[in-house]
Structures are given as C-alpha cells and as structure tokens.
Structure 1
C-alpha cells in the first residue's frame, strides 16, 4: 500500500517537474525572442525572466535533493553535497525575493496613494526594486555563513573532534538546521509581499469608492489592473504558504525518517515554482497571447497529422 502511494506521489512529482520546466522555460524563451527583436525588455519582463530562471534552478534542486539529501546526511558532508545545498539556497533565495519584488513592483505601479513617501517610491520604482534585490543579498550572505557553520559543526562532530554539546548531535540535525535557516530567512520577503497585497487591496477599495462617487462603473482600466495584480499576488501568497508547509513537512520527515512524508513534502514544494508560473503566464497579456498562439499551432498540427493518415 505504501509502495503504491510512493509511486503515485513520484508520478505527480514528475508531472510537476515537466510543467514547471515548460512554463518557466516558456517565459524565458519568449522574452529572449522579444529582446532579440526589440533589443530591450520592460522592467516587469526582466523580473519575470530572472524569476523563471531561479525557479528552474529550484525545481531541479528539489529533484536532486530527493535523490541525494536523505542518504548523504548519514555520512560526512562531501563537496558535492555542499555544492547542492548552496545552489539550493541560492535558487530558493532569488525565487522568493524576485517574487516579492514583483509584488512590490505591482503595488508601486498600480496603487494610487497621495502620501509623499509613496509618491517618492512610485517615481523611482526601478531604483526601489533594484535596491530591494541588492539589500536581499545581505540576507543571502548571512544565510550562507550560518549554513557553512552548521556544515562545519556537523563534520567536526562526525569525525569525533567536538564534544556531545556540539550544535549538531545526530544525522538528521544538519538537514533540520538547514530547513530552519531557510524558513527563518524567508519570513522577511513573505511579510513584504503580504504588506504589498494588503496595501493593494486598500488602494482598490479607495478607488472603488471614488468610482461610486463619480457614478462610474467598476470596469475601468485601473480597477482591472488592481484585480489582475491581486490575483497574481494572492496566488503567490497561497503557493508560497504551501512551500513553507513543505519545508516543515520535510523537517518532520527528517526527524522521524518517514520517506513517504518526504516525497509528499517535495510534491507540495514543487507547486510553488511550477504552478505559480502558469498563473503568471495567464496574468500577463503578452505571455497569455503567445501561449494561446502556441496551443493553436499545436492543435492545428495534430489535425493536419490526422488528415494525412491513410
């Protein structure tokens, strides 16, 4: 029974792996073609490309961790595993922070507040997003230093150099510390994205009140822009919450050595970098139109093949 459940979860994981690579790869490819033709990309397209690349890296790292992490932590941490952990942290960091930057970008571009501080940020939206990304490197640097310390402690304990009071005392603790570290350093971007979401809701509420006073309908361009941005941000928060849940489940699986829970955690974790990219495609007019065009061409191609079959 348990073997059947594992095979089912592995099948779902493979499907998500394919969808994630196709959706994120589509975002990168389309914008690359657009850049080749026009020699420039809009700010939102640049963020989407970097986000898609980081998510492809995260998807592959989640798959690699399934094959490698459980077995490798039973012995001294080797160079290959250290590289895997560091690449995982890098891809996770940029995936989370770029999605948060996208939320802040939508807020500054769409919301309408008369506060001087908001107007100051709105007029400098490109500089604001760039400064946030540069500032996030501080969190990345601190995270990598702490992970490096955990790895050194683990190797020292395993080789019998340190005492029982070491910060790492069993084979599961290193993975638990890594997951805990990643979770703690992810709280800041999540809170920033949540604040952006709440401010955008408040902006939409104020805008709808203004439309009612002016006896105008609710289908004006600004209302539509608010609702489209809110859909993207809601999906991000939901999928990112599921990603947090997957980290917690992975931590539990490391403690109790339950492989089924570990595979389930990987499935839930893959929802964020794969499924959310599909929502980004549907929420972006350029990406949506291009994806519909590709689907039509594929549909026409299959019809032509059927007609040629004798």
Structure 2
C-alpha cells in the first residue's frame, strides 16, 4: 500500500514537472521570437524569460531526482556531487521565487496610479535597473543555496529516498537552514504578498470607479478587472501553499506521506504559477490562440480530404453497379 501511494505521488509529480517544463519552454520561445521580431525587450519580458529559464532547469532537476528515486540509481558518485547538484537545484528554486516576486512588484507598479514622487521615480527607472535586479537576485539565490547545500550533511530527503534520524542532522544544522529558508523562500513570499495585497486594493478601487461610471455591470473594463482580481487572488493562495509545503519539506516536520504531499506541492506550484502568468499575459495568450488556430486549420484541411475520398468511393461503387 505504501509503495502504491509513493508511486502515485511519483507519477503525479513527474506529470506536473513535464507540464511545467513544456509551459516554460513555450514562455521562453514566445518571448525570444517576439524579441527577434521587434528587436527590443521590455523589462517585463526580461523577467518572464529569466523566470522561465530558471524553471526549465528546476523542472529538469525535479525529473532527474524523480527518475533517480524510482529507478533506485546511484546518480551521485560522491558526496561532493550531491552537494553540487543540491546547490544547483536550490539556486534555480530560489531564483525562480525571486523573479516571481519581482513580477508581482512590476504588476503593482504597472497598474497602480502613484502620487508619490519616489514611487514614480522607481517606475521610470525600471528599464535601467532591471538587469541589476536580475543579477542581485541570482547572487542572493546562489549564495544561500550554497550555504544550505554545503553545510547540511544528509537530511531526510524524500526525493532521493535518503532517511537520516532528525537528531543526527536537523538539530545541528538548523543555524544554516533558517537563513537559507528566510532569504530563499520567506523574503520572496513576504514581498509578493505585500505587492499582491496592495494590488488587490488597487483593483478594488478601479472596480468601484468603473461601477460608478458605467450603468452596465458587464462592461469589458469591469470583466478585465475581475479577471485580474481572480488571478492575483489565485497567485496569493498558491504562494501561501508553496510556503507551507516547503516549510514542512525542508524542516522534517512530518511523516513520509506528508513529505510526499509537500514534494508534490513543490512540483505543482511552479507549473500552475506559470499557467496563471500566461492567462494574465495578452501576448502569450495570442501565441496560444495562434497555435490553436493552426491545429484547427490542420484538422479542417484533413476533413474535406476524407470526405472527398468517401464520395469518390461511393461514385465508383455506383458505377460498378
């Protein structure tokens, strides 16, 4: 029964990782093609490409560790190799959280109407400070990922089926785990939550303004605001779930079954988060519609050919009769 449950979580985690990998490859490809056509990259597109690239490598790490766990392979020839791989995974994990945090900030700056001069200056300086923001976020992610991976010995890791008693590792290494968790997970969550909170308040103000100026409650402007409100609320729920799941996963607060659930949350969050980002991006939605139109066009072009073959067969049969 335990093996069945474990296999179920492995299949679900592998499916979500594969889905997230495809989605983020699509995000990167769409933005790169748009960059080649327009010869310029907007700050939002830079963040989206950076986030997509970090998540592509993160999903590769997830799939590798799932494959290693299912096949019971000795994928790490030495302890140093395990440390290096964990550093890489934590770097991609932390950097994706920091990039997603800056996306929340950018959403709020883009939608909100500022009367404060400092916020106006920040909005105007975004194109110039975007590259330093990406570099500093990457340095922070690598630093604390390195601290976590190279100072923790062997903790209980459901990813690799490694189990060590808590009193041998967790209690001694807590001083390294807390700073890494704080700067890798909690700070991005805190800033994202504050940005989402102010963004939800701004959207409510816009909705009240639209309702006062429009007698019809089904106006396109109101529907756009309601859609944005649902997206931001969903992102906040996902951020909170990911923080809780990561807390239980990193600090060994639960049983093997609960750690499987936490591991599934860790795989599901970046995939679903990318889906929500696509639904809130007009350019990416247009790319999806173009792909769907091409697929429909291919099916429509095949249908008349099959009908033509059926009609020709009927004609030959009638002629033979």
**Which TM-score bucket, shorter chain as reference?**
0.7 to 0.9
Matching of residue 35 in structure 1 with residue 35 in structure 2: yes
Q: How many residues align?
A: 293
Once residues 16 and 178 of structure 1 are traced to their aligned partners in structure 2, the CA distance between those partners, rounded to angstroms, is: 30
Q: Sort the Cα spacing of 1:300 and 1:189 in 2 relative to 1 into closer, same or farther, 3 A.
A: same
Residue equivalent to 2:239: 240
Residue equivalent to 2:21: 21
CA contact (8 A) 2:24 2:274 kept: yes
CA contact (8 A) 1:104 1:129 kept: no
Normalised by the length of structure 1, the TM-score is 0.77
Show the 5 A alignment for 1:208-247. Answer: 208-211=207-210, 227-247=226-246
Once residues 209 and 13 of structure 1 are traced to their aligned partners in structure 2, the CA distance between those partners, rounded to angstroms, is: 42
Q: Sort the Cα spacing of 1:35 and 1:270 in 2 relative to 1 into closer, same or farther, 3 A.
A: same
Show the 5 A alignment for 1:1-310. Answer: 1-66=1-66, 78-127=79-128, 129-137=130-138, 139-140=140-141, 142-144=143-145, 146-147=147-148, 150-151=151-152, 154=153, 170=168, 180-185=178-183, 186-211=185-210, 227-251=226-250, 258=256, 260-302=257-299
CA contact (8 A) 2:17 2:268 kept: no
The RMSD of aligned alpha carbons is 3.7
Once residues 304 and 275 of structure 1 are traced to their aligned partners in structure 2, the CA distance between those partners, rounded to angstroms, is: 33
Query: Could you list the per-position Cα deviations for residues 92-118 of structure 1 after superposition, in whole angstroms to 9, with x for gaps in the alignment?
Result: 121001111111111111101322222
Hey, which bits of structure 1, 4+ residues long, moved more than 6 A? 69-73, 172-179, 216-222
CA contact (8 A) 2:9 2:264 kept: yes
**Alpha-carbon deviation of 1:238?**
2.2
Once residues 130 and 227 of structure 1 are traced to their aligned partners in structure 2, the CA distance between those partners, rounded to angstroms, is: 32
Residue equivalent to 1:160: none
Q: Which protein, 1 or 2, shows the higher relative CO under an 8 Å CA cutoff with sep ≥ 6? A: 1
Once residues 16 and 177 of structure 1 are traced to their aligned partners in structure 2, the CA distance between those partners, rounded to angstroms, is: 32
CA contact (8 A) 2:31 2:45 kept: yes
Query: Could you list the per-position Cα deviations for residues 188-246 of structure 1 after superposition, in whole angstroms to 9, with x for gaps in the alignment?
Result: 11111111111112222333444455567677787666555444433332222222233
For structure 1, the residue ranges without an aligned partner over 5 or more in a row are 156-167
Once residues 295 and 178 of structure 2 are traced to their aligned partners in structure 1, the CA distance between those partners, rounded to angstroms, is: 44
CA contact (8 A) 1:44 1:102 kept: yes
Residue equivalent to 1:161: none
Once residues 123 and 218 of structure 1 are traced to their aligned partners in structure 2, the CA distance between those partners, rounded to angstroms, is: 34
Normalised by the length of structure 2, the TM-score is 0.75
For structure 2, the residue ranges without an aligned partner over 5 or more in a row are 155-165, 311-321
Once residues 173 and 9 of structure 2 are traced to their aligned partners in structure 1, the CA distance between those partners, rounded to angstroms, is: 22
